Chains A and B, each alone.
Chain A
Amino acid sequence: MRPFRHPPGATTPVTAPHLAAQQLVVARSGRRVLNGVDVDFARGRVTAVVGPSGAGKTTLLRALNRLDEPTAGRVVFHGRDVRALDPCQLRRRVAMVFQTPVVLPGTVRANLAYGLDDPGEQALAQALVDVGLPGEALQRDAHTLSTGEAQRMTIARALVREPEVLLADEPTGALDRDASAGIEALIGRLCVERGLTVAFVTHDLAQAERMAQRAVLLSRGRIVAADTPAEVAASWPGVIT
């Protein structure tokens, strides 16, 4: 599959920060995994969060989704501290997919409709089509999907909730090259078509260059660079493996 390249200027115009971390500190067992992170994610843009292992990339995404609580500082969504928002509502608007696709028991339909009152058959089938899976797959046992299909399904499961932001923690980390290219293309297309704000973690600067307009480089719990992926790669050679 041909690798995705984000078309320049094809997204929604940059607006005020949509989602931001302000002086964010997250400590675990006394160690500061994030140590005063300031970063914002503009609406309709793809931002790559890059950095070496243990830099705090996953923790940053988890904090944006409120799966981890800040020790200090705050996460702001639409100008409001996320602690003032209902966590369930926040997570539907700021969706998250994980490196290893987590498949819930039951059919694809049960996975997509999980926690929703009455999503409607058509909306579910459309979500599958949007991620490149056939609508008929709704009836399949979700555990029979390949890893690539399962990752697409988890993205569809997030999309059914009509999020404004998609947080993706190394969404292609568990996939082979073809499946990775498919997910890259899918995320890029969703960003263009839906104006979705995307923050994704990657170890791969080449992937960041293909997918993102902006990269933030985390090192030891701090943002040390925020620029175009090409600039970050040029300014910090060897930081990322």
Chain B
Amino acid sequence: MLVGLGLVAVAAVVSLRLGLGVERELVVAVVRALVQLGVVALIITAVFNHLGLSAGFVAVMLAAAAITSGRRIQGVGHPMARAAAAIALAAAIAVVPLFAVGTFPLTPRYVIPVSGIVIGGAMKATSLAGLRLIEELSDHHQELEARLALGVSAMTALRSRLRRAVVAALVPAIDQTKNVGLVTLPGAFVGMLLGGSSPLEAAQVQLTVLFALLGAGALAAAMATLLIARAAIQPGERIQLPVAR
């Protein structure tokens, strides 16, 4: 860590000498990282000793993810609740079987990181799908009304837009899965190697996590778009635009 801090100090000196003006931001970033990660490490130390506390920790992660995604999908009714439902259901469907069949032991040491990674992936997919769908509804409202005028249900009219939103949301997760090992070495893999595991063991865990991430992302994106579509569909098979905020 001291070597890392030394490198930041070098960067700050370079910034000062070249007049880049980012030295203050570098110091603030380092201090924040030290405090935040230090506090989280202390909390996780406490949480790691109690399965009940770890469940609470997962709930806090879910709430934070729902708030983050909910803010992205403003303009539809109850955005936080819709985001929470999409993320929680997708993450549960992806994570619960991993512990139920014994892929990972049901201990806080595994529950927290695996849940965190999957909830994060579901959150990203929910935000991306929600944002894209809201854009699609606004940009293609005339086309959607033309479809309605041809006597199809609102859900049928929306179908191609839902599909586009889900596909757009899944591109990062699909690319990440396709290029794993080629472009990047993902976190769990690197962490396990650094922790002394064999590359094969690390790869096995990483692949499990990646597949869970992909599954959770797909489920979350599908769920989020369906929930937003339900909010947009009005009585009489009409489609209401999300309200700009």
Q: Give me the interface of A with B, judged by CB distance under 8 Å.
A: 65-67, 69, 83, 87-92, 95-98, 100, 102, 104-105, 114-115, 154, 157-158, 161
Check if A104 sits within 8 Å of B236, measured CB to CB: no
A97–B142 Cα distance when bound, in Å, is 11
List the B residue with the shortest CB-CB distance to A97: B149
Check if A102 sits within 8 Å of B143, measured CB to CB: yes
- In the assembled complex, B136 has its CB within 8 A of some CB on chain A: no
Query: Nearest Cβ in chain B — how far from A13, in angstroms?
Result: 28
Check if A161 sits within 8 Å of B151, measured CB to CB: yes
A98–B149 Cα distance when bound, in Å, is 10
Check if B148 sits within 8 Å of A104, measured CB to CB: no
Ordered by A's residue number, 15 sampled pairs between the chains whose C-beta atoms are within 8 Å are A66-B236, A66-B238, A67-B149, A67-B238, A69-B238, A87-B236, A87-B238, A89-B151, A90-B151, A97-B149, A102-B146, A114-B147, A114-B152, A115-B150, A115-B151
- Interface Cβ pair total, 8 Å cutoff: 60
Given contacts A66-B236, A69-B238, A83-B236, contact A91 B142 (CB under 8 A): no
A69–B238 Cα distance when bound, in Å, is 9
The 4 closest A-B CB pairs, nearest first, are: A102-B146, A92-B151, A115-B152, A87-B237
A115–B156 Cα distance when bound, in Å, is 8
**Which residues of A lie under 8 Å from residue B235 when comparing CB positions?**
69
Check if B142 sits within 8 Å of A88, measured CB to CB: no
Query: Nearest Cβ in chain A — how far from B234, in angstroms?
Result: 8
Query: Nearest Cβ in chain A — how far from B147, in angstroms?
Result: 7
- In the assembled complex, B153 has its CB within 8 A of some CB on chain A: yes
Query: Nearest Cβ in chain A — how far from B165, in angstroms?
Result: 16
List the A residue with the shortest CB-CB distance to B238: A67
**Which residues of A lie under 8 Å from residue B143 when comparing CB positions?**
102, 104
List the B residue with the shortest CB-CB distance to A95: B149
Query: Nearest Cβ in chain A — how far from B211, in angstroms?
Result: 33
List the B residue with the shortest CB-CB distance to A96: B149
**Which residues of A lie under 8 Å from residue B153 when comparing CB positions?**
88
CB neighbors of A among B33-64 (8 A): none
**Which residues of B lie under 8 Å from residue A161 when comparing CB positions?**
150-151
Instruction: Select A91's contact among B148, B156, B234, beta carbons within 8 Å.
Output: B148
**Which residues of A lie under 8 Å from residue B156 when comparing CB positions?**
115
**Which residues of B lie under 8 Å from residue A100 when comparing CB positions?**
142
0/1 interface trace, chain B 199-243, chain A, CB 8 Å (1 if under): 000000000000000000000000000000000001111100000
CB neighbors of A among B149-186 (8 A): 149-153, 156, 160
Query: Nearest Cβ in chain B — how far from A152, in angstroms?
Result: 15
Query: Nearest Cβ in chain A — how far from B172, in angstroms?
Result: 25
Check if A98 sits within 8 Å of B146, measured CB to CB: yes
Given contacts A88-B151, A115-B152, contact A104 B237 (CB under 8 A): no
List the A residue with the shortest CB-CB distance to B151: A92
Instruction: Select B148's contact among A67, A69, A97, beta carbons within 8 Å.
Output: A67
List the B residue with the shortest CB-CB distance to A90: B151
- In the assembled complex, B135 has its CB within 8 A of some CB on chain A: no
